[in-house]
Structure 1
């Protein structure tokens, strides 16, 4: 089918684009710069010039597609919530009756469960999420009655040497000789390899299940301390425990996020789509895989 994807020049979106092209889909990718255009065309997609702020471009490109995959995000941009809200309105408004829409969300929409596993039926609210606009984005996609909306809540994404969080920790290790974690670091996170995640996008797009929310995570749960230790070993640094106050002074709001633990139950994705994560685990990737090789 003809698929419009946002964020194709980014980490997750680029790998999703590869998988979509490999599966035989005609992929049209939003590209906001010449560099982005070169990147997406190199992946086998057709580039359409524009950004999430170009609402007429989004509306027109969506109208010419049978499906939209939205992966573009900038968690650092304080205006991202408003930008995405307007972009979703344009994309959903342009997509024709019966079209498909796959929306990228995050496991951070869940409240902190302090280690208890969470499935998709657990209530989420902007007030309890570090990424509140993702909750609002989910609701908008699922409420669009004219399209088949699917929401993918991804765990910590890793693999191919990428991931904003992991790259940040690696950078800290190399620059400061220290990889921080908060408290005892025993809180555990779920994770998902970027290629396994991309395979789930393809399955969700091809096997129509309207109004579905699915968690994307492997069975592995990894403590934040173990992640910090693996990054420290990779960079020749030391893994160092900080108090929440020290962490907030050094990392801002990220410190509080690193204290959370809401491991994801991804059995729904396995049941609906036959999705089976098969790539190397997070610690293996950090110690002997793509991160070590890069």
Structure 2
């Protein structure tokens, strides 16, 4: 199968590309002036602008790109809309016009904000953040094309792995390694299920190859809390972990993953301690 991948030069995109390339011909979009590290097949496209004229013929599209300004509201709103929403509309139209068979959209658990109640795929959604609203808008667009080709929407929760920067897990690792206290909401902090980047790549590959249709929550196979997670980092790095307790109720962001379990063997996914070992050791990088 020939697959077009957006976001290939981003963190998750690199993992996804490596997994797809094991069995498929992958063509990646790159920003003007950029290129793939290994010089692989690519097409230049600024996702904030129109599609290029030289779009390749493909069987499937994996839309993994995300605006770099997704947290910068209101300054980043225009870019977030262009990259997260308008580019999705352009790709969907392109897919319809060129008989693309499968479209996998990489979404986010942020569509569930403020994370109240059961986080099931059929829950009512009312996000207010820039990322949550634009990802949801793009998801809604994809629904209109479900009669034309197979559409899958993967809502990711708390991705992490070797080489990641600027997110929750690398921030925690830095605090533990430098002896700074970890702030917890409540006694144990956030309850969550961290999702290893390699597992995301394998799930995306399955979604495309096996013709998945519909919306799927994608979280890690093992629930933990911020205290336990930070203590595991401390154990693996030989550091004592200090905590500061904010006397509020501990939040919980855990999704229903029954749909994922019906299509993917979650027992093969990476447990927290193994994922942290690889993250801290730099193993498994792409």
TM tier, shorter chain?
0.7 to 0.9
Higher deviation after alignment, 124-133 or 2-11: 124-133
Cross-structure match for 1:254: none
Matches of 2:130 and 2:228, distance apart in 1: 24
Give the TM-score, by structure 1 length. Answer: 0.79
Pairing partner for 2:107 from 101, 105, 108: 105
Offset of 1:282 from its aligned partner? 2.1
Cross-structure match for 2:49: 54
Cross-structure match for 2:17: 17
What runs of 5+ residues in structure 1 fail to find an aligned partner?
246-257
Q: Which has the higher helix share?
A: 1
Q: Is 1:135 paired with 2:136?
A: yes
Cross-structure match for 1:285: 275
User: Between Structure 1 and Structure 2, how many residues are aligned?
Assistant: 270
Q: Is 1:156 paired with 2:158?
A: yes
* Preserved contact between residue 175 and residue 182 of structure 2 (Cα < 8 Å): yes
Matches of 1:221 and 1:267, distance apart in 2: 15
Cross-structure match for 2:36: 38
Aligned to 2:221, the other structure's residue is in SS state coil
Superposed CA offset, 1:151-204 (max 9, x none): 001121123343622122233445572333323234311222211211111111
Aligned to 1:56, the other structure's residue is in SS state coil
Cross-structure match for 1:252: none
Offset of 1:40 from its aligned partner? 5.5
Higher deviation after alignment, 216-225 or 226-235: 226-235
Give the TM-score, by structure 2 length. Answer: 0.81
Cross-structure match for 1:221: 223
Cross-structure match for 1:196: 199
Q: Is 1:240 paired with 2:243?
A: yes
Offset of 1:90 from its aligned partner? 1.5
Offset of 1:32 from its aligned partner? 1.7
Q: Is 1:67 paired with 2:70?
A: no
What runs of 5+ residues in structure 2 fail to find an aligned partner?
none
Equivalent positions of 1:108-127 (< 5 A) are 108-113=110-115, 117-127=118-128
* Preserved contact between residue 191 and residue 220 of structure 1 (Cα < 8 Å): yes
Higher deviation after alignment, 13-22 or 259-268: 259-268
Offset of 1:237 from its aligned partner? 6.3
* Preserved contact between residue 234 and residue 241 of structure 2 (Cα < 8 Å): yes
Offset of 1:139 from its aligned partner? 0.8
Superposed CA offset, 1:191-239 (max 9, x none): 22211211111111112243x0011123311112222333455484644
Pairing partner for 1:275 from 246, 265, 270: 265
Offset of 1:128 from its aligned partner? 8.0
Aligned to 1:202, the other structure's residue is in SS state helix
Aligned to 1:103, the other structure's residue is in SS state strand
* Preserved contact between residue 177 and residue 237 of structure 1 (Cα < 8 Å): no
